[in-house]
Amino acid sequence: MPAKNYTAFHFQKSICQNRIFVLPIFFSLFLLLSCENKKSTTSHLGADTSTESTKTDVVVSAKYRFLSPEINGIIYSTEATKIKSFDAELNGVITKLKTNGLLKDISICVYQPSSSFKLLINQSEKYHAASLMKLPIMMAFLKKAIDSPNIQNRLITFRPINLGAPNNIPIQMTIGNKYTAADMLQRSIVYSDNDANALLQINFLDHQYQGKFYKDFGMQGQEDYPNTDNMDVVNYMKFLTSLYNAKYLDKDKSDYALRLLSQSYFVEGMVKGMPANITVSHKYGEWKTAEGYQFHDFGIVYLNQRTYFLGVMTKGHDMASLTQAMQTISAFIYQKMTAQQPL
């Protein structure tokens, strides 16, 4: 049996042929009544407890709102999704940002599933992943939750973890209070909470389990952990494409993970370079080194058949400049990915 491909950029297309049957009226009414959809009120991991979206670019009627349209049985026409390459123009923007002192190095990955459009710039450059690693840690936890569903309700007593890094988040946990693992997971992703993320790993994800997870994605480990100072845009993008196509986790957990990513409180990176009504499932990371600063942001920009993936990793002298550069790059790419197609 061939191994599953968790990281393929292209998802397989399967077109189901619809057949029309003529049914007696009374039987048709029976089917309509018996198949009535009911809203879920459960709160377990993977359950969609939201009622309706405030955004206009996610298919609300779909069961798995954040996954590939094909998973939901939606086949979009590719007639208007062809993208003209804009490498040269983007390199011009990058050159200007470097000239103005906003950047030292940058790597970019753009991918649109519907048209198979790809754009890669400086994809071999290595960076420190920083808080980007909270996304694969979430995936590893959710994988474990498939086999052990009760771990989501396990209570953890909060104690601050000395990570040597600030935990600047809007809502802090209270020392001594108990929180469920599901609460910790949500805080880790939505607020990028360092303490919550550390406690998830300490309580549920030992070195061996995490090592197996990263091995599944072909990432080189370092004492059962990946070398977080050796990440590139292409390898990291594998996590997002895997979630979008439900290739590693099941559909419920993949959709849940992307829904959490769409709720991120951080909107100063790539999100700020797009209109406010666009849904983006994304994770950012920042790091300070002896040579300067690093700032990264990876996300799925939901535009129905024009949905695209964007990953940007940067190095520079200060966070303010890198943030400005990120927003500029994001806005430019959004304009290019949408200008050639009707909304």
- What pLDDT, on a 0 to 100 scale, did the predictor assign at position 58? 55
Mean pLDDT throughout 70-92? 81
Q: Is there a domain that residue 21 lies in?
A: no
On whether the pTM is more than 0.95, the answer is no
Q: Is there a domain that residue 8 lies in?
A: no
Can you say how many angstroms the Cα of residue 242 is from the centroid of all Cα atoms in its chain? 9
- What pLDDT, on a 0 to 100 scale, did the predictor assign at position 229? 81
- pLDDT of residue 55 exceeding 50, the answer is yes
- What pLDDT, on a 0 to 100 scale, did the predictor assign at position 20? 35
**299/223 same-domain check:** no
Q: Using an 8 Å Cβ cutoff, are 149 and 180 in contact? A: no
Q: Is there a domain that residue 178 lies in?
A: yes
**218/162 same-domain check:** yes
Mean pLDDT throughout 168-187? 92
**296/236 same-domain check:** yes
- What pLDDT, on a 0 to 100 scale, did the predictor assign at position 297? 98
**120/264 same-domain check:** yes
End of a domain among 205, 228, 251? 228
- What pLDDT, on a 0 to 100 scale, did the predictor assign at position 218? 83
Can you say how many angstroms the Cα of residue 212 is from the centroid of all Cα atoms in its chain? 21
The pLDDT tens digits for 106-155 are 999 999 998 899 999 999 999 999 999 999 999 999 999 988 989 999 99
**82/199 same-domain check:** no
The pLDDT tens digits for 195-213 are 999 999 999 988 878 888 8
Q: Is there a domain that residue 20 lies in?
A: no
**77/87 same-domain check:** yes
**Helix H segments across 220-318?**
233-244, 251-262
**75/167 same-domain check:** no
- CA angle, residues 131, 255, 302, in degrees to nearest 5: 80
What percentage of the chain reaches a pLDDT higher than 90?
60
**57/120 same-domain check:** yes
Q: Is there a domain that residue 311 lies in?
A: yes
**181/258 same-domain check:** no
Mean pLDDT throughout 43-54? 48
- pLDDT of residue 4 exceeding 70, the answer is no
Positions of E strands within 6-89 = none
**244/124 same-domain check:** yes
Which one has a higher pLDDT value, 83 or 5?
A: 83
Q: What is the CATH number of the domain that holds 163?
A: 3.40.710.10
The total number of structural domains in the chain stands at 2
Q: Using an 8 Å Cβ cutoff, are 227 and 321 in contact? A: no
- What pLDDT, on a 0 to 100 scale, did the predictor assign at position 210? 85
Q: Is there a domain that residue 244 lies in?
A: yes
State the Cα–Cα distance between residues 201 and 144, nearest whole angstrom.
Answer: 12
- What pLDDT, on a 0 to 100 scale, did the predictor assign at position 45? 67
Mean pLDDT throughout 64-74? 90
The pLDDT tens digits for 226-247 are 678 889 999 999 999 999 999 9
End of a domain among 228, 244, 269? 228
Q: What are the angstrom distances between the C-alpha of 80 and each of 101, 338, 341, 343?
A: 38, 10, 6, 10
Q: Using an 8 Å Cβ cutoff, are 77 and 338 in contact? A: no
End of a domain among 194, 228, 262? 228
- What pLDDT, on a 0 to 100 scale, did the predictor assign at position 221? 57
Phi-psi region of 342 (alpha: psi -120 to 50; beta: other; left: phi over 0): beta
- pLDDT of residue 157 exceeding 60, the answer is yes
- What pLDDT, on a 0 to 100 scale, did the predictor assign at position 128? 95
Q: Is there a domain that residue 37 lies in?
A: no
- What pLDDT, on a 0 to 100 scale, did the predictor assign at position 81? 61
**123/239 same-domain check:** yes
Highest mean pLDDT among 16-25, 50-59, 174-183, 197-206: 174-183
- Of 125, 93, 114, nearest to 232 by C-alpha is 125
Can you say how many angstroms the Cα of residue 267 is from the centroid of all Cα atoms in its chain? 14
**307/247 same-domain check:** yes
Q: Is there a domain that residue 297 lies in?
A: yes
Q: Can you give the residue range of the structural domain that contains 255?
A: 48-128+232-343
